[in-house]
Structure 1
């Protein structure tokens, strides 16, 4: 059966949101996918075909990433990003949803559950960012300096897409030209760096332990054994703070689990939702 997909843009919370909608007439459940920092829906391209066999899927580009808006007037706090996703979910009339978030997207999922618990039944956190603090004061002050966005651009160029991918993927043989271009493409225009400068300023830090303990949803945590970005120890701590959670560890896997182990991730999600 040929996969059907709708590529859409919608103005939500005063910013243009790009999302991909994969219908499945045989399923009542909708999976809402949120990607990580410096990423986009592109990072789910290998997982979505598996998920869409069983469920309806909506994959969202969180601003300022991917094809979503890059306004430097938008507030890029995690709370406001969570509110933006909530508004989009309501505008689409989605029911019986499960939130799935990778890395930073996982922290946005946790913010959504904290703000509006009744929006989702369950959540899946893939190597979810957690316990990071607000940006340091000198960096926040520096973000007000004219042309600071050029420093952000220089920093990203220096670290390089290849080096970043080698850091997040355990099996380097998976890194292809298609993958390199997919992750590089959103950073070919300067507007993203102006928005990232604003994001440095707006980021308020991750949810504290007290807030996490209030989340009562069943949560599936899937972690790569060799995650260098968000180490497994973070997943183990998160499992303690989320009362109804289970932790699955993928052996010989790094941070980018939807890229490295899409079929295994799908099987664990399917079992969890069953």
Structure 2
């Protein structure tokens, strides 16, 4: 027994040394590269994963305003027997990075429409409007160009995407049959939004749109309750490359979107939507605490609330399989 413990101890020690040496080797190879080559490579591999294993295709549509382009990932072989599901991401990168753990499972049950919100990923506009209404209008315009103008859509949204989905449900109620809102501060007053974000210190824009590895580590720690130990193993230069690839191109626009969201007061009648709604919340959410999930449910008579234990704000990362099952059961009407 003692000899076995010694072997296990030595094995752990050798693995730890090997990992440390590998980190230092990678650091020596790439630390002087300003171009985010590693993240660009990972992003390309994600695209291949979406195309080959999830049967998704990239499509870019120009809207009628002549100013806005919206990029989508769309199911390559749509089936009439499957309902259409629109997936709206939050802050924290483009749609590929946020939904990587979910698309494979959901693509088996739905025809997927996964846009990059404007100024995220490959979606862009020359319009100076930074409101949630503009995001909603852009997504609706893109969906209509893709033939989704007959209604019957289900929409799954998380965090910032929840604000956009709610606006669509309110302004274009005929388009959406069912709505899933995950960890979103929909219905917050301006004061509530600012209070929650300021709990974490620093400028709100630095948290949502990180400038350096320290900011990005804070964003991940605030967003997740489990699985954050991996942060200790990621060198700063890789995090810097992620920031360069995901945030630097449209940094000013992303900051303006965040400020518009946080500084705008919601309308009192904002809660008046009729769609059947599933609300999903982690009980350890530090961005929008669980009490706000209960509050949102009280304002929505046609809603239900699912609470995930020991899960933080990033439900799509911490509990993707559970979230997928909830979405599938809710949209397909499976009890």
TM-score (norm 1): 0.83
Q: CA deviation at 1:225?
A: 0.9
Verify: 1:102 aligned to 2:164, yes or no: no
**Corresponding residue for 1:11?**
62
Per the alignment, in what secondary structure is the counterpart of residue 216 of structure 1?
Answer: coil
Alignment CA distance shift 1:26-1:247 (3 Å): same
Per the alignment, in what secondary structure is the counterpart of residue 7 of structure 1?
Answer: strand
Q: For the residues of structure 2 that align with 1:260 and 1:9, how far apart are their CA atoms?
A: 30
Q: CA deviation at 1:6?
A: 0.5
**Is 1:66–1:186's contact at 8 Å kept on the other side of the alignment?**
no
Q: CA deviation at 1:197?
A: 4.2
**Is 2:212–2:243's contact at 8 Å kept on the other side of the alignment?**
no
**Which one is further off, 58-67 or 26-35?**
26-35
**Corresponding residue for 2:48?**
none
Uncovered stretches (5+) of structure 1, i.e. residues with no partner: 137-149
Alignment CA distance shift 1:127-1:151 (3 Å): closer
**Corresponding residue for 1:77?**
131
Uncovered stretches (5+) of structure 2, i.e. residues with no partner: 1-51, 195-204
Query: In the TM superposition, what whole-angstrom CA distance separates every residue of 1:233-266 from its partner, at most 9, and x where no partner exists?
Result: 1111000111200000011101111111111001
Q: CA deviation at 1:211?
A: 2.1
TM-score (norm 2): 0.69
Q: For the aligned residues, what is the CA RMSD? A: 3.0
| Count of residue pairs the alignment pairs up | 258
**Is 1:75–1:202's contact at 8 Å kept on the other side of the alignment?**
no
Q: CA deviation at 1:162?
A: 1.9
Q: CA deviation at 1:153?
A: 10
**Corresponding residue for 2:288?**
230
**Corresponding residue for 2:269?**
210
Give the number of the structure whose alpha-carbon radius of gyration is greater: 2
Verify: 1:88 aligned to 2:148, yes or no: no
Q: CA deviation at 1:158?
A: 7.0
Q: For the residues of structure 1 that align with 2:160 and 2:208, how far apart are their CA atoms?
A: 20
Query: In the TM superposition, what whole-angstrom CA distance separates every residue of 1:193-229 from its partner, at most 9, and x where no partner exists?
Result: 22134425644636434221x2010000010110011
Alignment CA distance shift 1:81-1:263 (3 Å): same
